[in-house]
Amino acid sequence: MKIVIVEDEKLAAERLQTILKEYDKDAEVVACLESIEETVQYFKLHPHPDLLLLDIHLSDGPSFEIFKQVNYNKPIIFTTAYDQYALEAFKLFSIDYILKPVTLEALAAAINKLKSLEGTFTAVDFRQLAPALAAEKYKKRFLGKVGQRLFFLESSNIAFFQADNKIVHVVDKEGNRYVVDYTMEQLEDVLNPQHFFRLNRSFIVHIDAIQQVKPYYNSRLKLSVKGSTQQDEMIISRERVAHFRAWAEA
């Protein structure tokens, strides 16, 4: 079985390869890709594999964007750190998915399910996934905490999210700061990617809150954002600049 892995976290990709070898020593990982752009280019130049292991959220956007550019109809097992917005779409297409961290048991069950369908697998037009997901509703409000008090925060009034060690704060456009019970990875899956962008490990910013973007040393960018203070240095790494520009101009 020839397999392609699309996963932008190096450790997660290595884990998948290790588990695959445990499951089947003859399984051949022919490519390990990290982004939408890289995957699209690969599929345009290479035969499609017997199985695609596909992370839902990649560094340059939702992986379903791949199917807008490539006519792909081979079996896919999706992996996700957080399942809130995608599971209904998967059910529509009877596609298997695995919640991270991926285990040998979960992966084996998914592959065994696909093997049981050999000879009866019906090719799926995955391009239909994009409009199906577009119809899914991203989170429109969050519950923020200040001490023992709880506040409702509309997504449209959020300026940015900030991770400080294991605590994640949400800051509105007036600069009010609250604690939310989400990790940054979970937030990436429930926030509308057209409105929110993850700058780095510490910040996810709303496009309407960005006041200024200016060059920063070492080919990086520095943002001025509503609600932020001088201590909130919002720097986009050199590796993320191209993704940010593409997102800003979409």
SS3 for the chain, per residue? Answer: CEEEEECCCHHHHHHHHHHHHHHCCCCEEEEEECCHHHHHHHHHHCCCCCEEEEECEECCEEHHHHHHHCCCCCCEEEEECCCCCCHHHHHHHCCEEEECCCCHHHHHHHHHHHHHCCCCCCCCCHHHHHHHHHHCCCCCEEEEEECCEEEEEEHHHEEEEEEECCEEEEEECCCCEEEECCCHHHHHHHCCCCCEEECCCCEEEEHHHEEEEEEECCCEEEEEECCCCCCCCEEECHHHHHHHHHHHCC
Are 63 and 113 in a shared domain? yes
Q: Among residues 135, 161, 191, which one ends one of the domains?
A: 135
Are 7 and 128 in a shared domain? yes
Are 115 and 148 in a shared domain? no
Are 100 and 192 in a shared domain? no
Domain that holds residue 10: 2-135
Domains: count for the chain = 2
Are 152 and 104 in a shared domain? no
The pTM score is: 0.56
For residue 165, the domain's CATH number is 2.40.50.40
Are 130 and 215 in a shared domain? no
Q: Among residues 71, 106, 135, which one ends one of the domains?
A: 135
Are 109 and 41 in a shared domain? yes
pLDDT of residue 100: 85
Are 125 and 60 in a shared domain? yes
Are 8 and 128 in a shared domain? yes
Are 150 and 169 in a shared domain? yes
Are 115 and 149 in a shared domain? no
pLDDT of residue 91: 56
Are 15 and 126 in a shared domain? yes
Q: In tens digits, what is the pLDDT along the chain, a chain of 250 residues?
A: 899 999 999 999 999 999 999 999 989 999 999 999 999 999 999 999 999 999 988 888 778 888 888 888 888 888 887 655 455 556 545 568 888 889 999 999 999 988 887 766 666 667 766 666 554 557 889 999 999 999 999 999 999 999 988 899 999 999 999 999 999 989 988 888 889 999 998 999 999 999 999 999 888 999 999 999 888 889 998 888 999 998 988 6
